[in-house]
Amino acid sequence: MTIDYTVSRLEPQFSASRDSTTGWRTIEDWLETEVEMIIIPRGEAGFRTPVGYHGQITDLGMAADPVAEFNHIVWGSRRYEVKYIKVIKDGDNFIRRDIALVELPLFQEMPQTATWKTGPDDARSKVKDYLDLRVTASNLTKNDGSTQASYAVMFENPPYHLRHEYRAASSPVQGLYVVGSPATETLLGASTSPLGYEERVPIHVATMDSTGCGGEQLRWKMNAELRNVVETYQIGSNTNLLRQRDQTINLGSDPLYDTTWDLSYRRSTT
């Protein structure tokens, strides 16, 4: 058993702006503080991917100091991500936090900005630009029917925990339009050369309950606004909005309300 008592806790610091292409918040820096933590190796659970990478779910940290999900822990040459935390109490008396740590052996710092291919845009970029331009923000209101709810449009799978969207210290959102990767079918001409593409792009409408704004009510308004945009404005041609499903995902005691749609349309090769 290996035990250590002093480690570095790295907390991500987000910029007020979003990446213009993805809509993700940018991690500007990592705030480093020292905390006392015991790190105990657990029986490592291994997993393999089809491409041959072997990963591990590794260690348990025990600490009294504050630690949050998505914090990074640096212990010597090893770097971990905090996956989840369980608070241990004896009655009303706090004892410690048990912290699930997953090692990041391949971690490298991400650049703050990235240059994306400018043309032709992929379907995610086209749909994000379409929603950024066409969604009427004043139609998305909180429970009082007049205060505007905060929302964002972004790509799926941001490189951070969603609590940094809904519970951000500054500029939190109440709702998200999340654009996924498309299923694409090539439209061929008589000479078998591509004439265009038929895209089927998943869009998630995702909301949470927050002060003055019920997640279920806001989801209804965001769904209605998405339908209004597609009915009023075309993207490419033969635009259709195909509804897939509603689901409620429990994040602890906090529900995430999620509606998934497929936006189907045809476009040229440019």
HEC per residue, 214-243? CHHHHHHHHHHHHHHHHHHCCCCEEEEEEE
Assign residue 33 the CATH number of its domain.
2.40.10.370
What does pTM read for this prediction?
Answer: 0.82
Least confident of 171-175, 194-198, 211-215: 194-198
| DSSP letter, residue 253 | T
Assign residue 199 the CATH number of its domain.
3.30.70
Is 113 a member of any domain?
no
Is 135 a member of any domain?
yes
Least confident of 71-85, 147-161, 220-234, 246-260: 246-260
User: Given this model, what pLDDT does residue 36 score?
Assistant: 93
For the segment 204-233, the average pLDDT, to the nearest whole number, is 95
In the predicted model, what is the mean pLDDT of the chain? 86
**How confident is the model over 237-265, as pLDDT tens digits?**
888 888 778 888 887 678 999 999 999 98
Is 230 a member of any domain?
yes
User: Given this model, what pLDDT does residue 100 score?
Assistant: 87
Is 112 a member of any domain?
no
For the segment 161-185, the average pLDDT, to the nearest whole number, is 88
| DSSP letter, residue 139 | G
How far apart, in whole angstroms, are the C-alpha atoms of residue 221 and residue 140? 6
**How confident is the model over 123-139, as pLDDT tens digits?**
888 899 999 999 999 99
User: Given this model, what pLDDT does residue 11 score?
Assistant: 93
**How confident is the model over 90-127, as pLDDT tens digits?**
989 999 999 988 888 888 777 666 666 655 568 888 89
Is 159 a member of any domain?
yes
Closest to 98 measured CA to CA, from 28, 39, 46? 39
Specify the number of domains making up the chain: 2
Is 58 a member of any domain?
yes
- The parent domain of residue 147 ranges over 123-268
152 and 199 within one domain: yes
Is 111 a member of any domain?
no
128 and 53 within one domain: no
